[in-house]
Amino acid sequence: MPAQLTSEPTVQDQFRRDVLDGLRAKPKHLPSKYFYDRQGSVLFDRICELPEYYPTRAELAIMRQHAEEMAHCIGSHGMIIELGSGSSIKIGLLLRHVPRPTCYVPIDISGEHLQEAADRIARKFTDVEVCPLHADFSGEIKLPEVVTSVERRVVYFPGSTIGNFRPAAARDLLTRIATMVGPGGGLLIGFDLVKRRDILERAYDDAQQVTAAFNKNLLRRINRELDGDFRLAEFSHRAIYNATHDRIEMHLVSDSNQTVSIGDAQVGFSSGESICTELSHKYRIESFNQLAAQAGFSVGRVWTDSDNHFAVAYYSIEE
Ligand SMILES: C[S@@+](CC[C@H](N)C(=O)[O-])C[C@H]1O[C@@H](n2cnc3c(N)ncnc32)[C@H](O)[C@@H]1O
């Protein structure tokens, strides 16, 4: 067979490029999607169980209370495409009620975690066709061929992952979702609401320091996969609420003047200089409805938890 001639960057090349671009920028930043190697996914699941991390509890409460109504919006003959499906916990609540036939396409960047979660769902719901897709949803998504006869596509996007995008990028992603589901399709999405600073900052800086470990795991991943030499003890985790932009900003702050090697490249840090590793935007219901409308969706229903901490909304594209 002739040698393959290709200029397509591998996932690893792209990771290296994104890391070096981000660390050479001013201010320094890293894309949050790289948190999710195997260990990052396990740490995120632990975050979801922390007493301070209200979003998962609030969203699960909304799903438990309103899953039947949401399932009715989806209807039978639906393809449910879940973006950033993680451990696929919330979809279980929905699949109990979704009329059959239906099929489920979980999409996640964290491959092994995705496969294990998809296997669990397939064992639990034997009458649902489950087709996991290991992909980066910020790039082009090629949906798998399915056996189920599909009349409607619905994207399920829980976990306030949309908040990790700046509003303009969030609108672009919602627009791509609108194109993916097409006329008659829908979007069931969970987003976090603006609330008191102390509640927000605690949620991203817990007493057990699981979020700190999750944040620093990104440096560990760079060391392992890109031949880096970050000294994790020389960086501190910070989570700050930026009220101007209604967002939590997660940072790793250098505790000293230091130089870090990543393969052949060198990156200098001054003491106190930070790398922004994640943005988590908080919304008001009206502003999120507006964003969805700009992407081409009509508002269907919005559900919130009893504390008004979190919202799940169903939007659709007119036929
Ligand atoms: C905040 S977690 C939410 C997990 C789960 N949906 C929940 O509600 O608990 C974000 C999830 O999206 C995945 N993810 C993040 N960026 C991604 C990307 N660009 N493409 C695909 N998956 C991504 C992560 O691996 C992780 O499972």
Is residue 28 in contact with ligand 1, taking CB distance under 6 Å? no
Tokens coding 291: 């964003």
For 24, residues 6+ apart whose C-beta sits below 8 A from its C-beta are: 267
Identify each DSSP E strand in the chain by its residue range: 28-29, 78-83, 102-108, 129-130, 133-134, 152-157, 186-192, 235-242, 247-254, 258-262, 265-269, 274-281, 298-304, 310-316
Q: Which residues of the chain have pLDDT under 50?
A: 1-4
Is residue 55 in contact with ligand 1, taking CB distance under 6 Å? no
Report pLDDT for 288.
Answer: 98
Report pLDDT for 300.
Answer: 87
Is residue 228 in contact with ligand 1, taking CB distance under 6 Å? no
What is the rounded CA–CA span in Å between residue 285 and residue 9?
39
For residue 253, how far is its CA from the centre of ligand 1 (angstroms)?
24
What is the rounded CA–CA span in Å between residue 152 and residue 301?
18
Q: Whose CA is nearest to atom 24 of ligand 1?
A: 84
Helices then strands, each counted (H, E), the chain: 9, 14
Tokens coding 200: 């927000």
Q: Which atom of ligand 1 is nearest to the CA of 44?
A: 2
Is residue 137 in contact with ligand 1, taking CB distance under 6 Å? yes
Tokens coding 81: 């495409």
- Please check whether residue 30 is in contact with residue 23, taking contact to mean a CB–CB distance below 8 angstroms: yes
Asked whether residue 172 is domain-assigned, the answer is yes
Neighbouring-strand partners of residue 265? 262
Q: Which atom of ligand 1 is nearest to the CA of 108?
A: 22
Asked whether residue 277 is domain-assigned, the answer is no
Instruction: Find the farthest-apart pair of alpha carbons in the chain and give their distance in angstroms, rounded.
Output: 63
Tokens coding 182: 């097409």
Q: Which atom of ligand 1 is nearest to the CA of 138?
A: 19
- The CATH code of the domain that includes 72 is 3.40.50.150
* Three state DSSP letters for 220-270: HHHHHHHCECCCHHHEEEEEEEECCCCEEEEEEEECCCEEEEECCEEEEEC
The count of domains in the chain is 1
Q: Which atom of ligand 1 is nearest to the CA of 82?
A: 6
Asked whether residue 16 is domain-assigned, the answer is no
Q: Whose CA is nearest to atom 18 of ligand 1?
A: 136
Q: Whose CA is nearest to atom 27 of ligand 1?
A: 86
Asked whether residue 14 is domain-assigned, the answer is no
* Ligand 1 mutation target, pool 48, 80, 142, 161, most atoms within 8 A of CB: 161
Asked whether residue 205 is domain-assigned, the answer is no
- Please check whether residue 34 is in contact with residue 18, taking contact to mean a CB–CB distance below 8 angstroms: yes
Asked whether residue 229 is domain-assigned, the answer is no
Is residue 277 in contact with ligand 1, taking CB distance under 6 Å? no
Tokens coding 78: 């639906």
C-alpha 70: how far from its chain's center? 21
- The closest of 249, 73, 240, 93 to 158, measured between CA atoms, is 93
Asked whether residue 59 is domain-assigned, the answer is yes
Asked whether residue 273 is domain-assigned, the answer is no
* Ligand 1 mutation target, pool 11, 14, 18, 33, most atoms within 8 A of CB: 33
For residue 184, how far is its CA from the centre of ligand 1 (angstroms)?
26
Is residue 164 in contact with ligand 1, taking CB distance under 6 Å? no
Report the length, in residues, of the chain. Answer: 319
Is residue 161 in contact with ligand 1, taking CB distance under 6 Å? yes
Helices 38-48, 210-226: crossing angle, 10 deg rounding: 170
What is the rounded CA–CA span in Å between residue 172 and residue 239?
26
For residue 164, how far is its CA from the centre of ligand 1 (angstroms)?
10
| Beta strand 235-242 pairing with 247-254 | antiparallel
Per-residue pLDDT reduced to its tens digit, 128-149: 999 999 999 999 999 999 999 9
Is residue 39 in contact with ligand 1, taking CB distance under 6 Å? no
Report pLDDT for 169.
Answer: 98
> Domain range for residue 177?
54-195+283-316
Q: For 254, list phi and psi in degrees, rounded to 5.
A: -70, 130
Query: DSSP 3-state assignment of 146?
Result: coil
* Ligand 1 mutation target, pool 109, 217, 280, most atoms within 8 A of CB: 109
